[in-house]
Amino acid sequence: MLEITQIRKLSIWIFLIPLLAINLCLIISQNYQFLEGTIFTVDQVGRSAFSIPYLDGSLSISRASRTFPQYLIFKPSMILTAVLLYYYWRENNNLVNKFNSSDINFNFKKFGILSAIFLAIHSIFLGIKFDIQIYKLFRRVILLLFIIFELIAQGLLIYHFYKLKNKLDKLINKKILFIKAFLVSILIVIAILSLPILVTKGNTHFKHALEWNYFVGVVFFYLLSRFFWKRTT
């Protein structure tokens, strides 16, 4: 089926592009000296010593990505990812409609596309400075909405595939379906348990480490999507 082929292709790029982007920005941030004296000299704010933020939370994704030249990588990568997400959710909607013999814009498509829009907005405004409190709140709300809508979309899509798993028996790997359900459940539980810490001041290193690992968890869903569908001809 054409939709399955498209979903498999989209999934791997949605996983790889943002993951490579944030880690390349991290590498540039930690190896800024190699770009000294070039047109890509790293901004002072974007420089950092060697660390593994996934473990020690020494810096945030935002700090590693929002200054020159890292934003030249981060912003286009996230906007491209947002575009790919739009097509991913559209193709999944078409596929579910095909197996249900329906013509509906399912809620997972709506939430998925909204999450893509919020990701693009967050990427565009990242690094733009306005000394206005409401602007800082706006950026946090946009990022939060991206995460919430993304998890809702992922959860709803899994729910639909569970209902269709018998019809899809020869097309899917059911073990991956269970893994995807487990992943989304863990992400939701972590978000709920971490909320009291996230809304209070302090615990900066914990928040940063959570940010890096949580982002990987969210995009890992798409790597699983690649292996969820069996290869079709």
* Domain limits, the chain: 2-228
Which pLDDT value is given to residue 20?
98
Separation CA 229–CA 168 (nearest Å): 9
The yes-or-no verdict on residue 135 having pLDDT over 90 is no
Asked whether the beta carbons of 171 and 232 are under 8 A apart, the reply is yes
Q: Is the per-residue pLDDT at 105 higher than 70?
A: yes
Comparing 155 with 195, the larger pLDDT belongs to 155
* Strand, helix or coil for residue 69: coil
Q: Given the structure tokens 């829009």, which residue do they identify?
A: 117
Mean pLDDT of 49-67: 94
Q: What is the pLDDT of residue 233?
A: 52
Mean pLDDT of the chain, nearest integer: 94
- Quote the CA–CA distance of 14 and 80 in Å, as a whole number: 9
DSSP code per residue over 1-46: -HHHHHHHHHHHHHHHHHHHHHHHHHHHHHTGGGGTTSTTPPPGGG
**Helix, strand, coil percent content, the chain, rounded in steps of 5:** 75, 0, 25
pLDDT attached to residue 61: 95
* Confidence class for position 129, pLDDT limits 50, 70, 90: confident
Give me the pLDDT at residue 223, please. Answer: 98
Helical (H) or strand (E) element with 205: helix 204-228
HSE on the CB side for 133, CA within 13 Å? 0
Scan for tokens 């990588």, then name that residue: 73
Q: Residue 77: which of 147, 161, 16 has the closest Cα?
A: 16
Residue-level pLDDT at 228: 96
Dihedral sign computed on CA atoms, order 48, 26, 111, 198: negative
Q: How far apart are CA 222 and CA 84, in angstroms?
A: 11
Average pLDDT over residues 81-102: 97
pLDDT of residue 131: 65
Q: Which of 22-26, 87-91, 109-113, 141-145 has the lowest mean pLDDT?
A: 141-145
Residue 137 pLDDT: 80
Tokens of 13: 């790029």
Query: Using one digit for the tens of pLDDT, what is the confidence trace for 169-207?
Result: 899 999 999 999 999 999 999 999 998 998 888 899 999
What's the confidence (pLDDT) of residue 232?
66
Please tell me the predicted confidence (pLDDT) of residue 157: 98
Q: Is 229 exposed, middle or buried (0-12, 13-18, 19+ CB in 10 A)?
A: buried
Selected residue with higher pLDDT from 45 and 157: 157
- Report yes or no: 23 and 64 within 8 Å, Cβ to Cβ: no
Instruction: Give residue 31's Cα distance to chain centre.
Output: 25
Question: How many residues are listed for the chain in this entry?
Answer: 233
Instruction: Report the pLDDT value the prediction gives residue 79, as an integer from 0 to 100.
Output: 97
In 3-state terms, what secondary structure has residue 128? coil
